[in-house]
Structure 1
Amino acid sequence: MSSTYSGNIPKLYLIKIAKWFMLTMPVIVLFYQENGLNMQDVLTLKAIYSVAVVILEIPSGYAADVWGRKKSLILGAILGCLGFIIYSFSYEFIGFLAAELILGIGSSFISGSDSAMLYDSLLKINKEDQYLKQESRIMSVGNFAEALAGIAGGSLALISLRTPFIFQSFIAFIAIPAAFLLLDPKSLATKPKAGFIHILSIVKFALWDNVKLRWNIVLSSVIGSATLTLAWFIQPYLKDLNMEVSAIGVIWTLLNLTVGAVALLAYKIERYLGKRRTSLFIVVGISLGFILTGWFHSLIGIAFLFFFYFVRGIATPVLKDYINRITASEMRATVLSVRNFIIRICFAVIAPFLGWYNDHFSISSALIIAGIIFFILGSISLIFIGKTEK
């Protein structure tokens, strides 16, 4: 029986690949524009997706606990495939909106359930001490898949910008049989459910009672929202530079590889600079990435895109680590969910405004405004973090 549970691990690899091998990402904004959407429409779509994900994040995790990891993953896989099928046959905002909502719901049911399935499977075969190793490997496979998809998606887009979405439907389908073949490990003991009131008490503790934790969450959320925002400006920015679709796919791939490579060294950089200087470098670097990319609207600007992704590679793991250092284990997952919630809410508020600004003025000015906004928000967070640590 234990060998059956160990068989869950390669199936989780397949689910990760199906989720991260995103052929559509290098060209999705260009696809929207080809179908009549402006940047305000694009970022509004993504804001709605963010809200859908964040609203369901905690409820879907609870559903996985009481309903079963396997059922949650099956539902998420089916919705993920259905979302891209709808994309393949849609030509206007309302169709894309339906696809985004379905993909958002599907993503929320997979997020967390896959890691829980991995841990429970290892627990069944008495190898739970290998969880971090296996989780890291699965994440590495996901990053590698994302990088390859950038090149493949850009190449498929030479046929048409709709072609990557059609192929993506087949990629997403891989997760469905993989999820059905999983064996759902039953809990070793029945644990009482804390309930919604307990969740609210943790949120109150993280965002109100514990001032130090609050501002570390805010800083991490501001930077997370900034990295999410820039990702949706890269394609139209490169298109403005008259770059071929295939070249955009290659640059997208190299940017993601930059994040992965720098992240491996993030702990060494943080150890050398220390928390205060690292935090300052992240806020200034992220803000300058926006401003300089907008200021130098030319091939030189691409260099600043890579600088931004270099800083992002440091920021993501380091700022999460700062939160983990001051968070008790029994509330860690919920606190990190609060961070994700704020990231999505910030994006939902800021991104549509920047999209409107882009449409009425220029992409360069929108990027500069974004840099100023995130610098102000990040600086406020740093000031209050400094006060709490004194």
Structure 2
Amino acid sequence: MRTESTHSSAILKYYLYRLSDSVGFIWPVFTLFLLWNDLSYTQIGTLSAVSAVLVVVFELPTGYIADRIGRRNTLATGMAAMSLSLAGFVVADTFRAFVALYIVWSLSMALHHGTDDAWLYATLRTTADEEAFTRVKGRGGAVSQLGSAVTMIAGGFLYVAHPVYPFVASALLNACGVVVVLSMPRNSQFDGKTASTTRPRQSLRILRTQFLRPPLRSFVSFVALFFGVVAAADSYIQPIVVDVFAGLSVGGPASMTAMPEEATLGFVYAGFAVVAATASYHADTVGDWVGEHVALASVPTVVAGVLVFPALVPAAALPVFFVMKGGEALAKPLVGQYLNDRAAETERATVLSAASMSYAVVRAPLKPLAGVVADVSTPITAVAALGVTFVASAGLLFVITTPVESSADTTYQVPAED
């Protein structure tokens, strides 16, 4: 009974962590805020590239640190770094200052990537319930998205009051998250019972044996391209949606333009969050219904395919973005389960951080390349090009290999020292 109570308490605290680990206050207006600070689109794109590169640089060492000093402490440090970065946006007013803040932000992202998944999987494993990972992570994602829906709406109105107010609110929320994380239980291997013995050289060897050979090599390539395409397309949601609303308001009632643009975007992003929450919540059900491998192969392909539609019918952009957000949220818990099932316990954070590092490697060039297309044509054309790129690349992968296996081989041995 005590074990069951402890288990339930840990899961509740995980949900509270997901609720506090949010930038919902700032996300619908983030690009507008950077423009308000007189940054150009080129500078904004450069910041995204800097972030992606730094995440790659930080991922492996932070994954190793998490496996050595404890996942809970690593998560708390990441939350504190995020709060510090968000607070810095309140006073920053130069490009160099924003670069410095992006460095801290990237460190926070690297500390989070893979670490929370590794903590959750290990916590569930203590009760022989690791198969519940997809369900719990999916519901945690739903909690995060629903919380973000509320903060996104509030963020739009806060921005109207003053552009820095959303950043103040977001910094305070993440600071509360530090307290929540420190109340979470430590994983057993960090209580002195089964401490990780993985050394830096072994970590590199793990990555070489896990990621440079099938089956994970092709799988990580597949999902990295998908997440990269979604991240790049996400950059154009605000200008495309504004243009769509402008077209709909022409000749329409005056009430359509009564609400400030920033507040309208808050409601749109809140809608994205609700759809994503629903998809994340039911990820386990979808995986059981159609099979994990079928869902992992089909969801990214469908999402990429619909990205072409706005180039044909611009008014379709908004529903297409809803599909994109829902598909991404549905895929994340399934990808996490797939990778966790193929990682050894004490190296799990290292492996998952390496996967996130791979995502950043793909995202870094995709964003500026899509920006070039958007500059010479339109943002809608850039989004369509991203969809075509994924479908063509994924098709080639499926021709030459099998990116997603139908059954998990969870047997893993740490390579011996040379």
- Which of these residues, 214, 218, 221, is aligned with residue 217 of structure 2? 214
Does structure 1 residue 381 correspond to structure 2 residue 397? Answer: yes
Which residue identity does 1:173 align to in structure 2?
A
Match of 2:253 in 1: none
Which residue identity does 2:85 align to in structure 1?
G
- Which of these residues, 164, 168, 172, is aligned with residue 166 of structure 1? 168
Cα distance change of structure 1 residues 190 and 147 upon mapping to structure 2, 3 Å threshold: same
Q: Report the 3-state secondary structure (helix = DSSP H, G, I; strand = E; otherwise coil) of the residue aligned with 1:189.
A: coil
Match of 2:65 in 1: 63
Structure 1 segments unaligned to the other structure (5+ residues):
none
**How far off is 1:57 after superposition?**
2.4
For this pair of structures, how many residues does the alignment match? Answer: 385
Q: CA RMSD in A?
A: 3.7
Q: Deviations over 1:62-91 (max 9, x none)?
A: 323444455434432332121011111123
Q: Report the 3-state secondary structure (helix = DSSP H, G, I; strand = E; otherwise coil) of the residue aligned with 1:157.
A: helix
**How far off is 1:332 after superposition?**
5.3
Which residue identity does 2:163 align to in structure 1?
L
Relative to the length of structure 2, the TM-score reads 0.77
Matches within 5 A, 1:256-335: 256-266=273-283, 269=286, 281-298=298-315, 300-321=316-337, 327=342, 329-330=344-345, 333-335=349-351
Equivalent pair of 1:11/1:179 in contact (CA under 8 Å): yes
Matches within 5 A, 1:20-99: 20-69=22-71, 71-99=73-101
Equivalent pair of 2:110/2:353 in contact (CA under 8 Å): no
- Which of these residues, 268, 289, 293, is aligned with residue 251 of structure 1? 268
Q: Report the 3-state secondary structure (helix = DSSP H, G, I; strand = E; otherwise coil) of the residue aligned with 1:217.
A: helix
**How far off is 1:231 after superposition?**
1.9
Structure 2 segments unaligned to the other structure (5+ residues):
247-260, 407-418
Q: Which moved more, 1:161-170 or 1:79-88?
A: 161-170
- Which of these residues, 184, 195, 200, is aligned with residue 196 of structure 1? 200
In the alignment, the residues of structure 1 paired with residue 283 and residue 9 of structure 2 have an alpha-carbon distance, to the nearest angstrom, of 33
Equivalent pair of 1:220/1:339 in contact (CA under 8 Å): no
Cα distance change of structure 1 residues 264 and 162 upon mapping to structure 2, 3 Å threshold: same
In the alignment, the residues of structure 1 paired with residue 128 and residue 136 of structure 2 have an alpha-carbon distance, to the nearest angstrom, of 10
Equivalent pair of 1:26/1:252 in contact (CA under 8 Å): yes
Identity rate, percent: 22
**How far off is 1:23 after superposition?**
0.5
Q: Report the 3-state secondary structure (helix = DSSP H, G, I; strand = E; otherwise coil) of the residue aligned with 1:209.
A: coil
Cα distance change of structure 1 residues 42 and 379 upon mapping to structure 2, 3 Å threshold: farther
Q: Report the 3-state secondary structure (helix = DSSP H, G, I; strand = E; otherwise coil) of the residue aligned with 1:23.
A: coil
Which residue identity does 2:160 align to in structure 1?
L
Match of 2:240 in 1: 237
Relative to the length of structure 1, the TM-score reads 0.82
Equivalent pair of 2:74/2:111 in contact (CA under 8 Å): yes
**How far off is 1:346 after superposition?**
0.7
